Amino acid sequence: MKVTTAALCEQAHERPDGRIDILGVMHQLHAPGFPAVQERMTAVFIIEWAADEAGPQVLRADLIGPGRHRILTIEGETEVQPPAGGAPPQTRLILPLEQVVFPEPGDYAFELLAGGDVLSLCPLHLLHHAGD
């Protein structure tokens, strides 16, 4: 298993031709106070699987905040089909999230569990910005 794409963004969608448009990639957010709420954001994970990983695969993505506190969890399962020639099989996750609460400023990231591996992806830095 390898993650070929991972992003936190404003929105993403898959085109009929199979390409994915990712708009407004986020790396840092400014908030006037905490807890802060992000009205909408989208997590995108594209996972490529090896031939020997065919079959059901458990997936879990935890948004982890400062102090290793879990902010939210997304869980599911995907069925990886054996490759039939051509490119390796993929799982494409486009996960719209609403009303995500960030309790404090600091560093956040998703931890993705897939294929028995845990990867830290999509760092997001929440900064206090009191305004003008």
Mean pLDDT across the stretch 24-42? Answer: 96
Q: Among 66, 75, 58, 48, which Cα is nearest to 109's? A: 66
The per-residue DSSP string of 11-45 comes to: EEEE-TTS-EEEEEE-SEEEESSSSEEEEEEEEEE
More confident position, 2 or 87: 2
Query: Tell me, what DSSP letter sits at residue 116?
Result: T
CATH number assigned to the domain comprising residue 14: 2.60.40.2550
- What is residue 132's predicted lDDT score, i.e. its pLDDT? 57
Residue with tokens 């065919």: 54
Amino acid at 119: L
- What is residue 9's predicted lDDT score, i.e. its pLDDT? 98
Would you say residue 51 has pLDDT above 90?
A: no
- State the residue range of the domain holding 23: 2-128
Q: Among 38, 26, 46, which Cα is nearest to 94's? A: 46
Task: Write out pLDDT tens, residues 66-125.
Answer: 999 999 999 999 999 987 778 899 999 999 999 999 999 999 999 999 988 999 999 999
- What is residue 35's predicted lDDT score, i.e. its pLDDT? 97
- What is residue 82's predicted lDDT score, i.e. its pLDDT? 81
Into how many domains does the chain fold? Answer: 1
Would you say residue 1 has pLDDT above 70?
A: yes
